[in-house]
Amino acid sequence: MNHTVPVALYCWLAHRGSFRDAVESAVCLGGDTDTVAAIVGALAGSELGPDAIPPAWIEGLAEWPATISWLRRLADALQKSLEAQQPASVPSLNPVGLLARNLLFIPVVFAHGLRRLAPPY
């Protein structure tokens, strides 16, 4: 955290007004790029709005069963809950789809973890 937050703030402030440049600068720094880029994306997105995200990045998302349309419904529900100052009603995901996806990823996660135990570290 001592390095992550200052670096994320720097990337965001150095590229204000450009979602792409801010996030790409965070990724190009190396290190814990996924965390830093996520923070920069959140800061830039909160300032610039969802239209600032490059369309190719949105079209390239593959997080089934949390599809792009589901993410948009979630954002709308969160916005409405903020305006009404009430808890959000989160749109449901297909539980069978979630189970299937998770069962497919369990071997990948274990294989990755076991591979990291083997030389060369």
Is the confidence at residue 66, as pLDDT, over 80? Answer: yes
30: left (phi over 0), alpha (psi -120 to 50) or beta: left
Distance CA 85, CA 41 (A): 25
Distance CA 56, CA 40 (A): 18
Q: Does residue 80 sit within a domain? A: no
Q: Does residue 114 sit within a domain? A: no
> Which amino acid type is present at position 110?
F
Hunting for tokens 């903020």 — which residue is that? 82
Q: Does residue 28 sit within a domain? A: yes
Model confidence over 33-65: pLDDT tens digits? 999 999 999 999 999 998 999 999 998 888 888
Find the domain containing 53 and state its range: 1-60
Q: Does residue 120 sit within a domain? A: no
pLDDT score recorded for residue 32: 86
Tell me how many domains the chain contains: 1
Q: Does residue 78 sit within a domain? A: no
